[in-house]
């Protein structure tokens, strides 16, 4: 899947290299000047590709900004598909997310943190990742329904898929806020904490802290 994979045809390698180059430059420019203030025109100038090439690599300006986020969820869905169901489903999703965090490439940390920080500054980006998230959840539900032999409309599956992404979201938010201190281990620790908080949340009542 990487641009240096010699097994891939040259055409494909070039395409992936261009895509990666654009995403890197996009993240840098958006961080420096702001997402809204940076035009696609400037971006493609810096990347030395044409507008056409940009929009062939990414459907929207937003998509170029959140490439690291996309990698995360693509990997998550891949890991989930490979997995055999055993034990409580929610725990399984927690493990899958932890495994995902372990499998992502080393340079992903920095890109993801930059992306998340960027998202905090731009409604358009938040909108884009939230939209992306619903797509991921839909696929998780479909995958689980298939494996467990359940109706894809089962209320419980949707609740589980949503809880998993929420737990990630909360864990990642705090991890990013602390500058990624403690690396992937810290991230997975926070993730387990977030999943552990779910039963507590259901029992939460006023007065009982």
Please report which helix (H) or strand (E) contains residue 150, including its range.
Answer: none
Judged on CB neighbours under 10 Å (0-12, 13-18, 19+), 59 is: exposed
Task: Give the angle 23-42-10 at the CA atoms, nearest 5°.
Answer: 40
- Other Cβ atoms closer than 10 A to 8: 15
Footprint of DNA on 46-75 (CB under 7 A): 48-53, 55-56, 59-62
- Minimum separation from the CB atom of position 118 to DNA (A): 15
Residue 132 sits in the site that holds DNA (CB under 7 A)? no
Nearer Cβ to its own copies (81/103): 81
Footprint of DNA on 9-28 (CB under 7 A): 9-12, 14-15, 18
Footprint of its own copies on 139-168 (CB under 8 A): 147-148, 150, 153, 155-160, 162-163, 166-167
The entry of DNA, its own copies, none near residue 18 (CB within 5 to 8 angstroms by kind) is DNA
- Other Cβ atoms closer than 10 A to 3: 15
What binding mask, one character per residue, do residues 102-141 give for its own copies by CB under 8 A, x or -? ---------------------x--xxx-xx-xx-------
State both tokens at 141: 């539900």
Specify the residue for token string 């869905």: 77
Nearer Cβ to its own copies (32/153): 153
Judged on CB neighbours under 10 Å (0-12, 13-18, 19+), 1 is: exposed
Residue 41 sits in the site that holds its own copies (CB under 8 A)? no
What secondary structure does DSSP assign to 123-147, as a single string?
Answer: HHHHHHHHHHHHHHHHHHHHHHHHH
Binding site for its own copies (CB under 8 A): 85-90, 123, 126-128, 130-131, 133-134, 147-148, 150, 153, 155-160, 162-163, 166-167, 170, 174, 193-194, 197-206, 209
Binding site for DNA (CB under 7 A): 9-12, 14-15, 18, 38-41, 48-53, 55-56, 59-62
């Amino acid at each position: 899947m990487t641009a240096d994979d010699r097994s891939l045809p040259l055409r494909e390698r070039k395409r992936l290299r261009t895509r990666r180059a654009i995403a890197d430059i996009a993240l840098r420019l958006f961080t420096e000047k702001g997402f809204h203030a940076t035009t696609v025109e400037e971006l493609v100038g810096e990347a030395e590709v044409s507008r056409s090439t940009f929009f062939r690599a990414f459907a929207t300006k937003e998509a170029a900004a959140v490439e690291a986020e996309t990698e995360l969820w693509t990997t998550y869905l891949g890991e989930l598909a490979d997995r055999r169901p055993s034990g409580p489903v929610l725990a399984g999703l927690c493990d899958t997310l932890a495994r995902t965090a372990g499998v992502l490439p080393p340079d992903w940390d920095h890109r993801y943190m930059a992306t998340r920080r960027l998202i905090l500054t731009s409604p358009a980006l938040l909108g884009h990742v939230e939209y992306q998230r619903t797509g991921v959840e839909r696929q998780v539900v479909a995958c689980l329904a298939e494996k467990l032999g359940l109706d894809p409309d089962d209320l419980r599956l949707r609740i589980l898929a949503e809880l998993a992404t929420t737990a990630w979201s909360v864990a990642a938010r705090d991890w990013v806020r602390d500058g990624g201190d403690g690396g992937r281990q810290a991230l997975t620790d926070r993730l387990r904490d977030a999943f552990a908080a779910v039963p507590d949340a259901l029992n939460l009542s006023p007065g009982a802290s």
